[in-house]
Amino acid sequence: MSRLNLDDFTDLIERPDGGVRRDAEARRERQTVPPGALGRLDELGEWLAAAQGAVPVRQVERPRVVLFAGDHGIAGLGVSARPAGGAERLVREVLEGASPVAVLARRLQVPVRVVDMALDCDPRTLPEDVVRHRVRRGSGRIDVEDALTLDETEAALRAGVAIADEEADSGTDLVVLGDVSVGGTTAAAVLVAALCGTDASVVTGRGGLAIDDLAWMRKCAAIRDALRRARPVLGDQTQLLAAVGGADLAAMTGFLLQCAVRKLPVILDGVVAAACALVAQRVAFRAPDWWLAGHDSGEPGQAKALDRMALEPLLEQGVKVGEGVGALLALPLVRSAAALAAELPELPEQPDPEATPVHPESEATPLARPE
């Protein structure tokens, strides 16, 4: 198999249709509710119309939550409030319908897909459709070793591309993207710090369960050490993901790139999705035009990444649990924007005041034929 050339995505990814967006803006100006009165809902409706290439915009009928799962060796240093290797339990809660994302997805009637890329468990204990893309059992401890080999990184990237194709081919019209991981926010923070040129302390957050000060200091030190390993390979995104990413993060990066190729809009969840999006932006600068930031998780790494991509979160509810929950909460907002853009009536067409009216009595009569 030939090597995956990430540079190809630069040519494959186009921007959403600018002409369609202008048509959507013009239509919005003709509607009965004055432009601007609906705030960001106007912008959302126009963005979605451009992504779909359709005016009026179509409703989001077949969304799906896609969660990439993995365990990270760095969790063994006590950088997470969850035990190292504990992502399997989180995945089981999603599959059993007992997690926050499962509850919300059930209520919103949105299917959830979980993709195991590097869980630290026996794959035979999980359904085949969950584990069939797995690259390895757990990712390496990134402060002292690579997360993946180059071959494993490429396999993960290709898996992400394949999953995006599967979703696009099945008719999914919008993806809510999240992760189920232990140690994932640490790896994500390293990627953000490396790509934004910042220190570890700037991007080190407290994770979904709010680690204490000692754990935060351990996390900050781990990110600092991993950054030393990341900086020499900043020019090659595949090597960067191999050194300090992980199989789940590499797959998410490939997934985001291929979604942009397939013109499939994505709502990003927390810091892990944002970090992968930042890597994907470094690969193909037009790719972020296909993504929305679902919410502000409070993680400083997420804020840094979104600022670099000029993406503004739709919601700010303090949701830190991950697993796509914050992004899924933003889905009704996107659907509402689409409904308003498509269904608000337009103002009746006004007559042109400069037009000269024609009265029947003033119409010229034909000349009489000579006798």
> Catalytic residue numbers?
323
Give CA–CA dist 191/202, Å, rounded: 12
Question: From CA 187, how far away is CA 166, in angstroms rounded?
Answer: 27
Q: Which of 219, 199, 200 is nearest to 209 (CA)?
A: 219
Instruction: List CB contacts of 323: < 8 A, sequence separation 6 or more.
Output: 67, 90, 94, 99, 100, 101, 178, 179, 180, 269
φ/ψ bin of 207: left (φ > 0), alpha (ψ from -120 to 50), beta (otherwise): left
Tell me if 70 sits within 8 A of 152, measured CB to CB.
no
Q: What are phi and psi of 357, to 5 degrees?
A: -70, 145
Burial class (CB in 10 A: 0-12, 13-18, 19+), 333: middle
52: tokens are: 């779909």
Place of tokens 């303090």: 318
**Pairwise CA distance, residues 271 & 113, whole Å:** 20
CA dist 360 to 98, 351, 357, 364, 365, Å?
75, 19, 10, 9, 10
Tokens of 103: 């509850």
- For residue 114, what is the enclosing H or E element? strand 112-118
Question: Quick one: tokens of 234?
Answer: 């900043």
